[in-house]
Amino acid sequence: MAFPTSRIGLNFLFLLIAFCSSPPATAKTLTIATASNFHSTLLKLVESFHKLNPSVRINISSGSSGSLYTRISMGAPYDLFFSADVDTPKRLDGQGLVKKNTRFTYAYGRLAFWAPGDNAKISVREMIEKHQGKLVIANPKIAPYGKAAEQLLKLYSKDSKKYQLVVAENVVQAHQYIKGGSVVAGFVSYSQLLLRGGQARGYIAVFDDKQLEQQVVLLSRSREVELALEFLRFIQSDGARKIIEDSGYRLPKAGGDV
Amino acid sequence: MFEPVLLSLQLATSATIILLIVSIPLAWWLANGSSIFRSVVWATTALPLVLPPTVLGFYLLLAFSPASGLGKLIVDWFGVQLAFSFAGLLIASVIYSLPFVVQPLQIGFERLDGRTIEAALSLRANWWVIITRVIFPQLKGAFLVAFTLGFAHTLGEFGVVLMIGGNIPGETQVISIAIYESVEMLDYAKAHLYSVGLLVFSFIVLFLTYARNSFSLKRKGE
């Protein structure tokens, strides 16, 4: 009785060992870290890049710029980093974690205030007052969009305790809280309100005096420098620039330096 | 699409195999000793039960990072970087799931009836026969529970993986992380697919384990 059971067990073990051996390595893989606001746009860019380079595999990790900064300084194996600000790439550059002359501005992000369930025709300031009881922002300590939102609120009121803020991990999560209905209003990136064709419903205000300059860098630990440079050249091409603009960003001047 | 699933299964399988190898001697020793040192080791292996995963994640991140002394040493000696890699996740999973494998085995060893072994010895049975015919049948249930819990717990890991894995598809993006990311990206269809799959799979595994155990208990009772 015991014998067949143990043989099955043994076979199972062999199967497991065979199964555990690592998957075959793909030819060329580019790993990109992106600030979460740019994730959906980057997916479109990657799709278009794939048409030119079908054999290349591209992995994307998204998060707040601050949390990605921590991962990169801890040795995360990313090739490119699309930040939502200038400070973070600059800091990495200062630490020698960036390949020389690869830091440049790829887009200007736009901070937006969104209240999907409200169509009142009033100014943003009144709108924010109206919803001061529960507003969501991205974590200002690690997310540039959250920081910009916080600065804006400080301009509106010296009393920092006045607004009850729900703090999301990053700007995509902030958007998700509003969209899911758990928070009525808050600050997101304008590009998120343009997803799936048209503009999202409800009250939208864009703060164009509060543009977020967003920079990209090629990280010095990259093992796919050629491919990474090719991708950087690609995102400066006319086709790519149109994708970025259509996704709700403003563009830097044409004619990059990479 | 199925990459996170495959990666999770690989991680859970490898971790469980390592865990069983490590836990058998450890649980045996814990079941049969009674020194203060044993209590120290017992408490240490049980720590992942009570600590939030962020504590383990935080210290492993510091230890594994090439920016740290230990992390650099590992890179220099073995040429592997543990932070943000599959190997690092594997080590973290082994630590994190340790109590789930050690404790059922320890209970099994403690309940082992010494008289049956003595009886077998007095009949001059050799050790191979004693292990396969006397000890193992008494421990089958404990092994099954240890294997299942170790596997299922590793599969359900999230906090540690998020902190030291860095969400890299094909390397550290296991199923729990893939769910988190799909929810963040408002891709609810994908999140549902992964979540329902994991839910059903976990239920079936646990059901089979417990059903088998209660049936075998019943049979013994008859």
The answer to whether the Cα torsion of A117, A119, A125, A126 is positive or negative is: negative
Distance CA A23, CA B91 (A): 19
| Numbered residues of chain A with Cβ closer than 8 Å to any chain B Cβ | 2, 6, 13, 16-17, 19-20, 22-23, 29, 31, 36, 39-40, 57, 59-63, 71, 73-77, 170, 172-173, 175-176, 179
Residue A256 has pLDDT above 70, yes or no: no
Residue B80, chain A, CB below 8 Å: the answer is: no
Shortest Cα–Cα distance, A67 to chain B (Å):
10
In A149-250, where do the E strands start and end? 165-168, 185-189, 203-218
Confidence category of residue B219, pLDDT binned at 50, 70, 90: low
Contacts of B181 in chain A (CB under 8 A): 62
Interhelix angle for A144-156 vs A171-179, to 10°? Answer: 70
Contacts of A62 in chain B (CB under 8 A): 167, 181, 184-185
Shortest Cα–Cα distance, B65 to chain A (Å):
5
Average pLDDT value for residue range A227-247: 96
Written out in words, the top-level CATH class of the domain with range B3-221 is: mainly alpha
> For B22-40, what is each residue's pLDDT tens digit?
999 999 999 987 789 999 9
> For B117-172, what is each residue's pLDDT tens digit?
889 889 988 888 888 888 888 999 899 999 999 999 999 899 999 989 888 888 89
Contacts of B183 in chain A (CB under 8 A): 176
Shortest Cα–Cα distance, A89 to chain B (Å):
18
Distance CA A155, CA B216 (A): 70
Domains of chain A: 29-108+212-246 (3.40.190.10), 110-211 (3.40.190.10)
Average pLDDT value for residue range A154-178: 87
DSSP-assigned letter for residue B66: T
Residue B75: closest C-alpha in chain A: A75
Per mean pLDDT, which range of A218-227, B23-32, B180-189 is the poorest? B180-189
Residue A243 has pLDDT above 90, yes or no: yes
Angle at A179 between CA A176 and CA A185, to 5 degrees: 95
**How many other C-beta atoms lie within 10 A of the C-beta of residue B182?**
19
Residue B31, chain A, CB below 8 Å: the answer is: no
Residue A234 has pLDDT above 70, yes or no: yes
Q: Which pLDDT belongs to residue B73?
A: 87
Shortest Cα–Cα distance, B107 to chain A (Å):
22
> Which of B132, B168, B173, B174 should one mutate to test binding to chain A, selecting the residue with the greatest count of A CBs within 10 A?
B168
Contacts of B83 in chain A (CB under 8 A): 74-76
Q: Do B184 and A20 touch (CB under 8 A)?
A: no
DSSP-assigned letter for residue B111: H
> Which of B54, B173, B186 should one mutate to test binding to chain A, selecting the residue with the greatest count of A CBs within 10 A?
B186
Distance CA B158, CA B97 (A): 12
Percent of chain A with pLDDT over 70: 86
Confidence category of residue A10, pLDDT binned at 50, 70, 90: very low
Phi, psi of A137 (to 5 degrees): -135, 160
> For B44-71, what is each residue's pLDDT tens digit?
999 999 999 999 999 998 899 887 888 8
Contacts of A23 in chain B (CB under 8 A): 6, 170
Per-domain residue ranges of chain B: 3-221
DSSP symbols for A21-69? SPPPPPS-EEEEEEEGGGHHHHHHHHHHHHHH-TT-EEEEEEE-HHHHH
CB pairs under 8 A between A and B: 74
Shortest Cα–Cα distance, A61 to chain B (Å):
6
Most trustworthy range by pLDDT among A30-34, B119-123, B201-205: A30-34
